[in-house]
A and B are shown apart, each in its own frame.
Chain A
Amino acid sequence: MNMIQAINSALEVAMARDPDVIVMGEDVGYFGGVFRATAGLQKKFGKTRVFDTPITETGIVGVAIGMGAYGLRPVPEIQFADYIYPALDQLVSEAARLRYRSNGDFTAPITVRSPFGGGIFGGQTHSQSPEGIFTHVSGIKTVIPSTPYDAKGLLIAAIEDNDPVLFFEPKRIYNGPFDGHWDRPAKSWAQHPAALVPTGYYRVPLGKAAVVRPGEALTILAYGTMVHVCQAVVEEAGIDAEILDLRTLVPLDIEAIEASVQKTGRCMIVHEATRTSGFGAELSALVQERCFYHLEAPIERVTGFDTPYPHSLEWAYFPGPVRIGEALKKVMRT
């Protein structure tokens, strides 16, 4: 399966197992979603469980919270993560705080799916990576898969989780793993081992990172598309890096991070999102606090620049093989 098929399969499995799971969002019903992630679901489960919504993100999330309070388990979709901002109040003030403010009287067991990230010539409003806005909010979990296998298992786990989960899907790797070489032909998932996805039910636990490449020379912390770009750069450079795919940003797998950095003594953090106050700053601070006496070099952050996401200058903006390669040399030099 590619990642879209894996997500579609996760939704189908979760809906078949639990009649309270419903799917809603712009164009997700009859049409099956602009990325086809919900294709066939309305036909299989009916219009009261899979339906199109008006174009109002605050309405989509607000309604989902109300459905959650009733006892359903809604999986709303925000068509692009760039368009999640109208729903910020409902996510930050309501979903994230409902359990806390009512002392468990009401909860918001919702999973908000949203395609995110760049590398597709999406320009300013089809490329953003807003995860750092939400990792700053107490009460929300943030999950980002990097393979079809993880996408399905993590999405099922997110839907079954009783807390609100933001599930950001890196749309650049919906159809194939992207190594950052935009000038080479696109690859498909067909040859990738993580594209072998069981058709039935399984979960990948939230809050657990994956070591996608064991190594001794340094630790690379990444998630989403950047996992694949980092793998390619490391292979090309011939450096024995350990690459951790974080998979869940909140709650973070701090034990896996500590174990790796304390072993390698060096750490590089890679994300597409803009640099200042991005999630990389939190990761850098945690590694510094917890692995200071093991560090042999300053922690390096490789990120998008602090600008809006450009259109024509995409590959100058995107943290690709050159930027990551330069940072790699810097970390290894000291």
Chain B
Amino acid sequence: MRPNLPPLALHVPEPRFRPGDPVDFADVVIPPADAARRPDTSAQPAEFHELAYTLVRVLDENNQAVGAWNPRLAPEVLRRMLRAMARTRAFDERMFRAQRQGKTSFYMKCTGEEAVAVAATLALDYDDMCFPSYRQQGILLTRDYPLVEMMNQIYSNRGDKLHGKQLPIMYSSKETGFFSISGNLTTQYPQAVGWAMASAAKGDTRIAAAWCGEGSTAEGDFHSACTFAAVYRAPVIFNVVNNQWAISSFSGFAGAEATTFAARAIGYGIAGLRVDGNDALAVYAATQWAAERARTNQGPTLIEHFTYRAEGHSTSDDPSQYRSAEEATAWPLGDPIARLKAHLVAIGEWDDERHAAMDREVAEEVRAAQKEAEKNGVLGHGLHQPLDSLFDGVFEEMPWHLREQQAQMLAEEAASGRPWARK
């Protein structure tokens, strides 16, 4: 220690609002909806500097779609988008309740973030491959994957296509272009790049899109994926869903105090856009732009979706322990469903009655699907898969040591005097 120098001090980030604190988001800079420039999809990565620090927005304070990024969607597309978001929210509410009723072990909602999956999916082609994290159930709901199949997986029941092997919500559907979800964060990022590189190497026309949260950008795989994508100009879209919170740690622990997540793109030589993630039209427009860039061999795009995780991280989480309860309601960018609804009403293509009727319809659809799924059993009522399927799929063909262990397990079941599965 040299006495003539000031002692060093370690900076440990601290969120601005803790439980009980009044919330004031006045310092969150929200540029006007028509402020952001829309570059050509062939623009050089170096031209994205200001777009990585502002917010691409389309819906203005009068609920009109304005500016260069307005995707000018037909009303029926807007209504489809609204409905897919409403279905996602209704599905989340029902499944959250099912977990609380002990019908399954676990669930994760995406409340407040419906636009980042739904609007992005609508801007992609159906055969583009999505590499989601665990909070993009809106992709499956937008691509009309059967609700009953999703619930079967959540219940780990007889109908579960993953045969009860995966934690609830870790869906997989190749035919829907929805890559198998892993519990390990951001591993899907380099995989999406590889899929996109393969598509390019084969002269295909399909592109890939990946999602991760802002907290997960701290993983090494984020860096390796960005490097690979830039080096090979892979036709991939990186979505960073900045919902401000990674379980209990605020975005400052992923580096948000010093910069934006979109700005990370610049250093890699990737086009970077920062988007109002609660503005479904902005999400759609940015994805459409990035998809065109990818499809024309101009390379990857990183889109930061600036949003807010309105509820707990999962059914195992209680956000009132680490953040102010006022945050969700004070969030200056509002709610994605309410904003799109207000836009449709403002242009004379929607009204409160139709909205209420839609909410009733999607609630009824989800309720009916739940009833159907529960015919296949729920996790809380026991096991549903044949016991010996535990060993299926470790390898394509079962080697001797797994066959021996399988036989051992069946003998244990017999010795136990009561069958373990067989529901």
| Residues of B close to A72: CB separation below 8 A | 198, 201-202
**Contacts across chains A and B counted by CB atoms under 8 Å:** 148
Q: How far is the CA of A101 from the CA of B173 in the complex (A)?
A: 12
Q: Which of B151-198 contact A (CB under 8 A)?
A: 161-163, 165-166, 170, 172-174, 179-180, 182-184, 187, 189-198
Give chain B nearest CB distance to A78 CB in angstroms: 14
Report the separation of the CA atoms of residues A100 and B196 in the bound assembly, to the nearest whole angstrom.
23
Q: Is the CB of B401 within 8 A of A66?
A: no
Contact residues in A for B227 (Cβ distance below 8 Å) = 54, 56, 59
Q: Are B228 and A103 in contact (CB under 8 A)?
A: no
B-contact bits for A31-67, CB 8 A (1 contact / 0 none): 0000000000000000011000110101101111111
Contact A62 to B170, CB < 8 A, known contacts A67-B197, A67-B198: no
Contact A104–B393 (Cβ < 8 Å) = yes
| Cβ 8 A contact of B162, one of A48, A64, A103, A138 | A103
Are B162 and A102 neighbours in the complex by a CB distance under 8 Å?
A: yes
Report the minimum CB–CB distance from B237 to chain A (whole Å). Answer: 14
B6 sits at the interface (CB 8 A): no
Which of A4-12, A87-95, A233-241, A261-269 is the interface stretch? A87-95
State in angstroms the CA–CA spacing of A97 and B187 once bound together.
12
A58–B173 Cα distance when bound, in Å, is 25
Contact A65 B184 (CB under 8 A): no
Which of B166, B208, B220 sits near A58, CB closer than 8 Å?
Answer: B220
Whether A308 is near chain B, meaning CB under 8 Å from some CB there, is no
A98 to B187, CA, bound (A): 12
> Is the beta-carbon distance between A102 and B180 smaller than 8 angstroms?
yes
CB of B228 within 8 A of CB of A101, answer no
Q: Which residues of B contact A104 (CB under 8 A)?
A: 393
Q: Which of A216-263 contact B (CB under 8 A)?
A: 250-252, 254
**Is A69 positioned at the interface, with any CB of B under 8 Å from its CB?**
yes
**How far does the alpha carbon of A251 sit from the alpha carbon of B401 in the complex, in Å?**
8
Interface string of A115-137 (1 = CB under 8 A from B): 00000000000000000000000
- A150 adjacent to chain B (CB < 8 Å): no
B interface footprint on A69-94 (CB within 8 Å = 1, 0 otherwise): 11110100000000000100110011
Given A58-B220, A94-B184, A254-B400: A102 in contact with B172 (beta carbons within 8 A) = yes
Query: Is B194 in contact with A103, judged by CB distance below 8 angstroms?
Result: no
A-side interface mostly? mixed
A63 and B193: CB pair below 8 A?
yes
B224 contacts the other chain (CB 8 A) = yes
Judging by beta carbons under 8 Å apart, are B182 and A67 in contact?
no
B172 with A63: CB separation less than 8 A = no
Q: Does B292 contact A (CB under 8 A)?
A: no
Which residues of chain B come closer than 8 Å to A162, judged between CB atoms?
A: 396
Please report the C-alpha to C-alpha distance between residue A72 and residue B189 in the assembled complex, in whole angstroms.
18
Residue of B nearest to A70 (CB): B198
**Contact B184–A105 (Cβ < 8 Å):** no
- Which residues from A are CB-within-8-Å of B184? 89, 93-94
- Interface pair B182/A207, CB less than 8 Å apart: no
Contacts known (A90-B190, A93-B187); A139 close to B394, Cβ less than 8 A: yes
Name B164's closest neighbour in chain A (CB-CB): A103
Which of B195, B220, B224, B231 neighbours the largest number of chain A CB atoms within 10 Å of its CB? B224
Q: Which residues of A contact B (CB under 8 A)?
A: 22, 48-49, 53-54, 56, 58-59, 61-72, 74, 86, 89-90, 93-94, 97-107, 138-139, 141, 161-163, 207, 250-252, 254
State the 6 A-B residue pairs at the shortest beta-carbon distance, nearest first: A66-B194, A62-B190, A59-B224, A251-B399, A63-B194, A66-B191
- Listed by A's residue number, 22 A-B pairs whose Cβ atoms lie within 8 Å are A48-B200, A56-B223, A56-B227, A59-B225, A59-B228, A62-B189, A66-B191, A66-B192, A66-B194, A66-B196, A66-B197, A68-B194, A69-B191, A69-B194, A72-B198, A86-B220, A89-B184, A99-B396, A100-B393, A139-B394, A207-B399, A250-B399
